[in-house]
Amino acid sequence: MKLTKVETFRIRPRWLLLRLETDDGLIGWGEPVVEGRAATTQACIHELEPYLLGADPRNVEDIWQTIYRGGFYRGGPVLTSALSGIDQALWDIKGKALGVPVHELLGGRVREKMEVYSWIDSDTPEICAKSALEKKAQGFRNIKMLGTGRIGWINDSRAITGLLEKVQAVRDAAGPDFGIAIDFHGRAHQGTAKTLLKELEPLKPLFVEEPVLVENIDVFERLHRFTSIPLATGERNYTRWGFKDLLERGCVDIIQPDLSHAGGISEVRRIAAMAEAYDVALAPHCPLGPVALAACLQVDFACVNACIQEQSIGMAYNKGQEIGDYLRDKSVFQYRDGFVSLLRGPGLGLEVDEDKVRAMEEPDLAWKNPVFRLDDGCVTEW
């Protein structure tokens, strides 16, 4: 079996899909994208074609290592995201060739279903409460919400008060056992993050994500000692070497590698095993499309420390396009009581609607994230 064709498709809302084809007609799908840098990642995929064309796709590990180690300069968001999507597509082909889902090739399932959480709108306390109740009525037991908007370097009482009011509204509406995860998006800095975490403790969040930028690992370490709230991070870390220091320092409770950024199925399986050795939970980051979610779930089903899975249905980013829109069988990701059932189909466990993908392709699609500025005009974290 040999790889004979590499294709990429930019589709709404902000996704990039990869299609690999073999000489015997098998198709593998991956989702390699850096949000806001899709064109750059797409170019990287095609620059890596010489490592793919003519190779046996069943040799997943050899191809992974060749791409990673074959370049003198390695790692980072673009190169590793390209490798991630390639890795997903290779596992998809291998599973299809053997007629089994990927989790069977990773050692077999450790669970029959995986708990997921849903994002809620969080513009005001009233909207937060209403959105949380809607998700609870749909069977979700956990939600995630943004912590703050623009925030400066020192304590911002308006931002702190606003967040507390929103979280309190969700807690009052949904009850004491409802999980509330809060994503700071790396927007806060050390001084404000300490105040936010202290004030949030009585509300018992499920976890706080990226209270500060992960590159400030020494600050992350101090915050971890300072608070009783579980801290999560990892969406902007790449490969096992990007998680090594976090785990060794003991400054994270939940790691969130992204299957489309951190190195794909192969690498996140290794990262999960590293985390298990440090008694750290796995909750893959996934605000992306159907292929990325399927890849996440294949790892979740094979990892005992996987605790909860992000998914993008209903996210503000999607704007009319949902993950089921590009699938032949939309019921694959049908949630029941806040869980998604074991994916039993071969490969990644889903069938991409190739005709729909080709029809919806937008070669010049260029989603960009907003640029935040403080009141004085200084740029700040988004």
Residue 285 lies in a domain: yes
> How far apart are alpha carbons 56 and 269 in whole angstroms?
22
Our measurement of the distance from residue 202's CA atom to the centroid of its chain's CA atoms, rounded to an integer in Å, reads 28
Look at residue 315 in the predicted model and tell me its pLDDT.
85
Say whether 70 sits in a helix, a strand or coil: helix
Look at residue 41 in the predicted model and tell me its pLDDT.
98
Residue 328 lies in a domain: yes
Look at residue 313 in the predicted model and tell me its pLDDT.
87
Residue 358 lies in a domain: no
Same domain, 87 and 138: no
Burial of 137: CB neighbours in 10 Å, binned 0-12, 13-18, 19+: exposed
Same domain, 240 and 275: yes
Same domain, 200 and 253: yes
Provide the CATH number for the domain around residue 54: 3.30.390.10
Same domain, 126 and 61: no
Residue 374 lies in a domain: no
Same domain, 230 and 200: yes
Q: Which domain holds residue 253?
A: 104-347
Same domain, 66 and 163: no
Strand order in the sheet with 3-11: 3-11, 15-22, 27-30
pLDDT in tens, 113-147: 999 999 999 999 999 999 999 999 999 999 999 99
| Alpha-helix runs per DSSP H in the chain | 38-47, 49-52, 60-70, 76-98, 102-105, 125-137, 157-174, 190-200, 217-226, 239-249, 264-277, 290-300, 354-360
Q: Which residues pair with 116 in a beta bridge?
A: 309
Same domain, 31 and 146: no
Look at residue 135 in the predicted model and tell me its pLDDT.
96
Look at residue 318 in the predicted model and tell me its pLDDT.
83
Say whether 355 sits in a helix, a strand or coil: helix
Specify the number of domains making up the chain.
Answer: 2
Domain boundary among 101, 121, 146: 101
Residue 195 lies in a domain: yes
Cβ atoms 218, 224 nearer than 8 A:
no
Radius of gyration of the chain (CA): 20
pLDDT reading at 250 higher than 90: yes
Domain boundary among 101, 116, 147: 101
Q: What are the structure tokens assigned to 153, written together?
A: 């370097």
> How far apart are alpha carbons 31 and 264 in whole angstroms?
9
Same domain, 213 and 72: no
Say whether 245 sits in a helix, a strand or coil: helix
CA angle 156/158/159 to nearest 5° reads 70
Distances (CA, A) of 56 to 21, 182, 215: 11, 43, 37
Provide the CATH number for the domain around residue 114: 3.20.20.120
> How far apart are alpha carbons 339 and 343 in whole angstroms?
12
Band of residue 57 on the pLDDT scale cut at 50, 70, 90 = very high
Length of the chain: 382
Residue 364 lies in a domain: no
Same domain, 94 and 133: no
Residue 121 lies in a domain: yes
Residue 359 lies in a domain: no
pTM of the model as a whole: 0.96
Cβ atoms 283, 306 nearer than 8 A:
yes
Same domain, 79 and 146: no
Buried-state track 78-109, b at ≥16 Cβ within 10 A, e below 16: bbbbbbbbbbbbbbbbbbbbeebbbbbbbeeb
Same domain, 30 and 176: no
User: Does residue 13 have a cis bond before it (omega within 30 degrees)?
Assistant: yes
Same domain, 146 and 185: yes
Supply the residues annotated as catalytic: 185, 285
Residue 285 carries which DSSP code?
Answer: B
pLDDT reading at 165 higher than 80: yes
Domain boundary among 101, 133, 166: 101
pLDDT in tens, 68-102: 999 999 999 999 999 999 999 999 999 999 999 99
